[in-house]
Structure 1
Amino acid sequence: MQHNMSWKEQAERFMDFMSNAPTAYHACDLLAQDFDAAGYKELYERDEWDLTTHNKFYVRRNGSAIMGFVIGENWTPGNGVGVVATHTDALCGRVKPISIKQPVDGYNLLGVAPYSGAFSSVWWDRDLGIGGRLIVRDEASKSVTSKLVHVPYPIARIPTLAPHFGAPANPPFNPETQMTPIIGLTSSKEVKAPTDEEKQSPMVGKHSIDLLRVLAKHARVPVKDILQVELELFDTQDPVIGGLNHEFIFCPRVDDKLCTYTAVQGFIAAKHDDRALNVVACYDNEEVGSGTRQGAQGDLFQCIVERVVAHGMDSSVANQAAEYTRQTYANSFLVSADVGHAVNPNFSDAYLEFHKPQLNYGMTLKVYPNAATTSDAVSMALIEEIARRTDNKTQVMHTRNDTRAGGTLGKFLASATGMRAVDAGIAQLSMHSIRGTLGSKDIALGTRFFRDFYSSWYEVDQEWKNGDI
């Protein structure tokens, strides 16, 4: 798959992924397809797990978090777990539970709330699409399912006020009344009232009937079967390779589908040590604190480890499962992977000297004060040793004393389990903008770094098994 491609082919495959992964739900669905193609078996949390017929599995939660794991042939309870943790969510607009709004001056509007730092000035005058998931009733099977939807054209825009108007065109702006997307004109056509059949949907009256009809069309379900919606607004412009010598990728939603994509590709490509349990953990909701069941403060990773430990134990010692789980965590290592800040040449002085990550160079290791990241001397030494032995380059990011560092999900997972952990990520420009910039070769470099981590960490870690190291 990915590891047999040139760097340019890998970049193009990533861009195709990004074009088709506007939401966390779509990203998880595409990654699940990659797991399926690589021979992984999907497990479901509600079921009893049979771990005897395969050694490669994946599990989803909420449709927005996905984790793959490989159980080494010689792994036993107490042996460690190698894990890379990323997040699937990105800044976006979230459609409100009741999004219908009264028209204003002939415009139809959509009630949307900013998710994390979305709807800043860089979101204005952008072509915004809509997608997400619908909860639908299948009358034929008498069951309720989740259905992905992605309208393939822009449906909304947040228009700026021209500077000719003077003071009203200057910030601050009210996020509730002056940042509302327009989605159409009341005069564009006569909207037909909901039919008696459509009124069977509890969403009628809460969302524009025109919007529901568009969603139903592209999800290929009747309006009447829609029970609930979870929808996002996002930039529709496709990623492109740019720069005089094709050095860059200009792309939406880089944070952090970039590390998510490369971590999964590296995981699938790795030659896993048969003594290890390896996991790639792609969480949701990092951008808003990870405090959900599908976020890093949820227990999906821990559930996987506990179920694998219990399944791998002889019945005579099953009552010691908790002790073996603790030992497993103590022997484990976590890479919390989230994008890092590449140096911006127009603001070079904002970066700390000798700590200015470059594009197309290698993985950025993040060391921040005040426990913003998990990196320490032990974890840095281990990850740098892995990089040296596998011929991967690394660089270091640290902030100036007069700036602040952003947090990652690693601290939640490390503090909940006691795993040693390091923070790392692929560098990008314009973090938290609607559209970022990354190095075109960093897809291949990131995939290789994660592949070699999974292949090598257990062997290298054998030299770290002394005392409290």
Structure 2
Amino acid sequence: MVRNKPSIALLHKATIPKETTTTSMSSNMSNETIAQEENANVSYDMPNLHKIAVAQETAAREATFQEIAWGNTNHPRTSYALAPIPTSRHKRREMQEMGSEGAALASMSSDKPQRLPIRSLKAIAPGELENQGVQNPETQSMEVDKEAEKSWQQTEDILVKNTMSWIADDNAPDETLYETMKKSNGLSSIRTAYGATSTEQTLFRQYCDYLERNTSSASAMGTKEAKTAKEEIRLKEPEDYAEPFINFMTENPTVWHAIQYWENKLEKAGFSKLSPRESWNDRLEPNGKYYLNRNGTSLIAFSVGGAYQSGNGIAMVAAHSDSLTARLKPISTKNNKAGCVQLGVAPYAGALNETWWDRDLGIGGRVLVRDESGSISQKLVKLGWPIARIPTLAPHFGVGMFGQNNKETQLVPIIGLDNSDLSSSSPETFQTSAISGAKSSFISTQPPKLVNLIAKELGIENKEAIINWELELFDTQPAQLGGLEKDLIFSGRIDDKVCSWSSIEALISSSTLEKSKTSGIISMVGLFDDEEIGSLLRQGANSNFLPGTVERIVESFNDSTYSPNFLMETYAKSFLVSFDVTHATNPNFLEKYLENHAPRLNVGLTLEVDSNGHTTTDSVSTAIFQRLAEKCGQKLQTFMIRNDSRSGGTVGPMLSSKMGVRAIDVGIPQLSMHSIRATTGSKDPGLGVKMIEGVFDGWEDVDAQFAAGNGW
């Protein structure tokens, strides 16, 4: 990684005598000075990225300053030297306010403050500004007049100001810097002010963030959890999200495990749990972060902007937490057949199709347990090894499995063997009485070996304490990267766990920004159960869960007597993103896709359009979302079903009609929708995070652009 041209090292301006030349400048940087800076650096417990940066800085010192400083080292007033950036945010603000000859104090270690030069900029490739038409002061007279001096100072001030803002907010678009520089100094368009590649920008951000976390003033940056969340999420490229997503999918195979995972992640990021049974009037406050669940299978999480008031808008994202599966029947015990122990299950949505046959299936879900005091609690169980299997009929028997199969009698999973009937006078020896306890108890209706296994897994000594459960089957094959370059993700339950996961990641990331402290809106994610079966239950999107939560939030922030007018005002200023997977183009069936409406993997989110109202997308919401995508630099695709094909639905229409909010349907493309195992791109979860971050970060500004009295 050692290079002689520092593309991500940090430049600091240092005042030097006019007569200092390139040669003397290089030689006059004493070993003692370099040693002091390097000692300050290594006082940290440095991660690899910091070591890389130090190595680059060391190599840069060996390069000529003719290459480093704007292609010019003999500027009569200043030159540049490499050193770590001053670390705390308030120190950067001090630097911004100080004069050209001032110097900022930066704590390079907790006990050894060191004076550093005032300017901190991203290094620009050697001679790049000159190549773009920027005038080099060295080509002018060595006698720099006051006007030229002032112009040079303004240029540096603009660069410093925007660089600091970018570091502090992590959100300033490069175009803003370009335009500002052009207006004030007549600079030509610069390829980039922060580095040639997004990878270098990312490393630069990580470097600055690392230095911030290791200063005595780091407490001013917010909670430890928030900084951890920012480090884990905000500083990543789309492909960096693949492994975390894969791990999530493997470890959380049921809807209950997924909701519990998200609750734990939100807690670590500083979100507080709300109870629907208690008043929120004294709980909610600006800059607060909260979540609540319903039924253990649906979740709403939101962060409140520091300038939020009742009646302000909400940026909402809605996805669904459920996936196709097969759930155990209330009485799942079945009589043995041909020595096979079978399990009574029922398909949830479109499960038990041919993709479920001959798969290794585990069992998981929630178990309700009564303790000695009579209190009921929920425990989650995951039997993650292959337990059940739906065997196919060999083709030698004729039509085999590809005729009309009866899901009740011919698609019953096998969970074990019991040949005890061969040595018994009774053909049916597998009885529920094998479990001790009252015949009317719940456990007496379930396979005894399964009851014993779950009780052991959960550490339950008295099996009668199990009063009920909701268990389902899942594919035990782990989620994994695939393809020659590992640019694919193979996993079960991608629909719609991928959009749900991306939404929560984006919400946590957005809530850590400095910008959120001055935001006037609420950012919200709703993950709803039962989408695959119509959303009609209390935990579904067609319930009062989301509108009721919004109403309670608006009421709690109202200082005067609550009025429904505030709620309607909120809805008028809000925007809903219905976020569900969509169909990627299958190369083996191109004739099934509408021309110019065939999304690809690893490209970007897809706008879902349906002329019959199965989605919410229209011209206004499309224009809004396109503007949001422009602001965060994301590409969009479009999908529409052919006229000779049927269309699926989403939670978008039911939610937008209940609340009257503007809405759009977008999704992450995937192959093999409703298969037990599907495919998406390795960048797609991360592209989802980046786009939803853009929704939360940009909605307040974009709403203002569309608030022109058009009845939208």
Superposition TM-score tier, normalisation by shorter sequence: over 0.9
Farther-moved stretch of structure 1 (173-182 vs 40-49): 40-49
Q: How big is each residue's C-alpha offset from its partner over 1:89-137, in whole Å with a ceiling of 9 and x where there is no partner?
A: 0000011011111111111111100000000111100011111101110
- State yes or no: 1:2 paired with 2:244: no
Is 2:675 aligned against 1:436?
Answer: no
Taking a change above 3 Å as real, the CA distance of residues 412 and 120 of structure 1, as seen in their structure-2 partners, is same
Amino acid at match of 1:303: G
Question: Is contact 1:202-1:226 (8 Å) kept?
Answer: no
Tell me what 2:497 maps to.
257
Residue matched to 2:523: 278
The structural deviation recorded for 1:187 is 3.1
Q: Following TM superposition, by how much is the alpha carbon of 1:200 offset from its aligned partner in structure 2, in angstroms?
A: 8.7
| Residue of structure 2 equivalent to 1:84 | 317
- Written as runs of structure 1 = structure 2, the 5 A alignment for 1:230-309 is 230-270=470-510, 271=513, 272=516, 274-309=519-554
Structure 1 counterpart of 2:711, which letter? D
User: Is the 8 Å Cα contact of residues 499 and 581 (structure 2) preserved in structure 1?
Assistant: yes
Partner residue of 1:403? 645
Taking the TM superposition and a 5 Å limit, the aligned residue runs for 1:30-45 are: 30-45=261-276
Counterpart of 2:455 in structure 1: which amino acid?
Answer: A
Say which structure is richer in strand: 1
Counterpart secondary structure, 1:334: strand
Asked whether the equivalents of residues 200 and 225 of structure 1 are also in contact (C-alpha less than 8 Å), the reply is: no
How far residue 378 of structure 1 moved from its aligned partner, in angstroms, is 0.7
Counterpart check, 1:16 vs 2:247: yes
Deviates more, 1:328-337 or 1:72-81: 72-81
Determine the C-alpha separation between the residues in 2 that align with 1:380 and 1:225.
53
What letter corresponds to residue 248 of structure 2 in structure 1?
A: F
Distance across 1 between alignment mates of 2:456 and 2:542: 36
**Separation in 2, partners of 1:280, 1:443:** 16
Whether the 8 Å CA contact 2:361–2:473 is kept in 1: the answer is yes
CA deviation map 1:224-258 (0-9, x unaligned): 21111111111110011011111100000000000
Greater Cα shift, 375-384 or 443-452: 443-452
- What is the letter of the counterpart of residue 547 of structure 2? Q
How big is the shift at 1:356? 0.7
Secondary structure of 1:158's match? coil
Moved more, 66-75 or 52-61: 52-61
* Shift in alpha-carbon separation, 1:53–1:425, aligned structure 2, 3 A: closer
SS at match of 1:154: strand
Q: Which residue of 2 aligns with 1:392?
A: 634
Select the residue among 183, 189, 192 that pairs with 2:415: 183
SS at match of 1:205: helix
**Aligned letter for 1:69?**
F
In 2, are the aligned partners of 1:61 and 1:294 still within 8 Å (CA)?
Answer: yes
Kept after mapping to 2: 8 A contact 1:191/1:210: no
1:68 corresponds to which of 273, 280, 301: 301
Q: Shift of residue 199 of structure 1?
A: 4.2
Aligned-residue offset at 1:5: 3.7
For residue 26 of structure 1, the aligned residue among 228, 232, 257 is 257
CA distance 1:170–1:444, shift in 2 (3 Å) = closer
Residue type of the alignment partner of 1:13: P
**For 2:664 and 2:531, how far apart are their aligned partners in 1?**
17
Return the alpha-carbon distance in structure 1 between the equivalents of residues 265 and 338 of structure 2. 48
CA distance in 2, matches of 1:30, 1:191: 38
In 1, Cα distance between equivalents of 2:323 and 2:666: 18
1:111 paired residue among 339, 344, 352:
344
Does 1 or 2 have the higher relative contact order (CA < 8 Å, sep 6+)?
1
- Tell me how far apart the structure 2 counterparts of residues 297 and 355 of structure 1 sit (CA, whole Å): 29
Q: Is the 8 A contact 2:342 2:413 kept in 1?
A: yes
Which residue of structure 2 aligns with residue 203 of structure 1? 442
**1:2-32 deviation per Cα after TM superposition (whole angstroms, max 9, x unaligned):** 2334544421111110011111110000011
| Other structure's SS at 1:359 match | coil
Deviation at 1:398, TM superposition (A): 0.7
Tell me how far 1:194 sits from its aligned partner. Answer: 4.2
Shift, 1:220, TM fit: 2.4
Greater Rg, structure 1 or structure 2? 2
2:389 is the counterpart of 1:150: no
Provide the aligned C-alpha RMSD in A.
Answer: 1.8
* Deviation per residue, 1:311-331 (Å, 9 max, x gap): 11113x32x1x1111111111
CA-to-partner distance for each residue in 1:334-372, whole Å, 9 max, x for gaps? 000000100000001100000110000001110111001
- 8 Å contact from structure 1 (residues 201, 227) kept in 2: no
Q: CA 1:188/1:460 → structure 2, altered by over 3 Å: closer, same or farther?
A: farther
Listed one character per residue, the Cα deviations across residues 48-103 of structure 1 (whole Å, up to 9, x for unaligned) are 22114861000011000111111112111111111000001000001101111111
SS of residue in 2 equivalent to 1:155: strand
What's the offset of the Cα at 1:303?
Answer: 1.9
Once the two structures are TM-superposed, the CA of residue 188 in structure 1 deviates from its matched residue by 8.3
| Shift in alpha-carbon separation, 1:307–1:387, aligned structure 2, 3 A | same
User: 1:461 is matched by which residue type in structure 2?
Assistant: D
- In the alignment, the residues of structure 2 paired with residue 290 and residue 246 of structure 1 have an alpha-carbon distance, to the nearest angstrom, of 35
* Contact residue 632 and residue 690 of structure 2 kept, 8 A: no
Q: Check 1:126–1:343 CA distance in 2 against 1; reply closer, same or farther (3 A cut).
A: same
379-388 or 4-13, larger mean C-alpha shift: 4-13
Q: Give me the TM-score of the superposition, normalised by structure 1.
A: 0.96
How many residue pairs were aligned?
A: 464
Q: Which shows bigger deviation, 290-299 or 267-276?
A: 267-276
Distance 1:200 1:335, change over 3 A: same
Equivalent position amino acid for 2:456 in 1: K
Q: 1:438 & 1:219 partners in 2: Cα distance?
A: 34
Name structure 1 gaps, 5 residues minimum.
none
> Is this contact kept in 1: 2:286–2:305, CA < 8 A?
no
Distance 1:188 1:69, change over 3 A: farther
SS in 2 for 1:114: strand
Mapped contact 1:41–1:54 kept (Cα < 8 A): no
Deviations 1:190-218 (A, max 9, x none): 9895454x549821221111111111222
Question: Residue 29 and residue 327 in structure 1: after superposition, are their counterparts in 2 closer, same or farther (change >3 A)?
Answer: same
Partners of 2:388 and 2:627 lie apart in 1 by 49
Alignment partner of 2:611: what SS?
coil
